[in-house]
Amino acid sequence: MNQLPINRSFPTISDEASTSSISRDDREKGSHSLQKLGKVLLEKLMFGYSLDGVNLDPVRMVVAEFVGTFILMFCICGIIAITELLKGNVGLLEYAATVGLTVVIVVFAIGHISCAHVNPAVTISFAIFSSFPWSRVPLYIVAQLTGSVSATFVAAAVYGVETNIMTTRPIHGSSSAFWVEFIATFIIVFLAASVSYNYKSVGYLSGIVMGMAIAVAVMITGPVSGGSLNPARSLGPAIVSWDFHFMWIYVAAPISGAITGALAYCLLQLEHKPAVYSPESCPSASLLGCA
């Protein structure tokens, strides 16, 4: 999810070797045209109100988090609904693969816009250990929760199932569920920090690496806690179903695990590399500029 480097700005395609025959100027012109078109459409939706001089980057980032979380949650709810409709014939492996592949899709789709947090635990850990502004934390979390709630509603309507089957709850006791969620989220954020710090050696494969890691995390947590790893994943169906039993586990464990994972990597960082990045394009790029 947070595959971005801490020691340079987010790379464009032209920064790396590319087999594309499209020139850098052509790509820049195309990007500018898309931005201009988006601005015109937005102004029309706002009944002609001019957006000249208005910084739309925060709006784009928040909307991207909503869309990314919606995609993630719709796919999660979809595979759960299919499991219900097929009378349990879809197993844990299929569920984990769906989650992991969806994360890869989301990272590549919105990573360059909002850094693809799609998880309040990641957002909070970024705010604590990087230059991600605290003023945007509530906006990100609201967008993530709204995306989760919306996806739950839509998936329930599309598949014709009850929303309560999409909630998460402990399977082998509250204590086991808490600690497996804590440890799995710790591992994910620790890996994300490593990928961010060593971005040059990983490159654009970082999204795939994170997707694989989350798939593995779901495999090891699913039989114990339901494999949440994300407060937004659990809170969305809980809000729709109005069932908040054991919800403290799925809020406290991922957040504390994410914070501990980021802190652990900061403490293990032996060499400080100053962050050079664009706050407008990726304010969380300096996750590990803390040693």
Q: What is the pLDDT along the chain (291 residues), one digit of tens a residue?
A: 544 333 333 333 334 444 445 555 555 555 555 556 555 554 554 444 444 555 568 889 999 999 999 999 999 999 999 998 988 777 899 999 999 999 999 999 998 898 899 999 999 998 888 778 899 999 999 999 999 999 999 999 999 999 999 999 999 899 999 999 999 999 999 988 888 776 666 667 888 999 999 999 999 999 999 999 999 999 999 999 999 999 999 999 999 999 999 999 888 875 555 443 344 434 444 344 343
Q: Output the domain CATH number for residue 232.
A: 1.20.1080.10
Residue 62's contacts (CB-CB under 8 Å, 6 or more residues apart) are 114, 136, 139, 140, 143
Q: How far apart are CA 253 and CA 175, in angstroms?
A: 10
Residue 286's alpha-carbon distances to 51, 118, 188, 269, in angstroms, are 30, 18, 17, 13
User: Is there a domain that residue 63 lies in?
Assistant: yes
Cβ atoms within 10 Å of 226's Cβ, excluding its own: 25
User: Is there a domain that residue 3 lies in?
Assistant: no
User: Is there a domain that residue 59 lies in?
Assistant: yes
Q: How far apart are CA 264 and CA 269, in angstroms?
A: 9
User: Is there a domain that residue 263 lies in?
Assistant: yes
User: Is there a domain that residue 170 lies in?
Assistant: yes
Distance of CA 114 to the CA centre of its chain: 9
Contact between 170 and 249 under an 8 Å Cβ cutoff? The reply is yes
User: Is there a domain that residue 2 lies in?
Assistant: no
Residue 26's alpha-carbon distances to 31, 136, 220, in angstroms, are 9, 33, 46
Domain count, the chain: 1
User: Is there a domain that residue 120 lies in?
Assistant: yes
Provide the residue range defining the domain that includes 180.
55-268
Q: Which residue has the tokens 């087999």?
A: 19
The pLDDT of residue 126 is 86
User: Is there a domain that residue 9 lies in?
Assistant: no
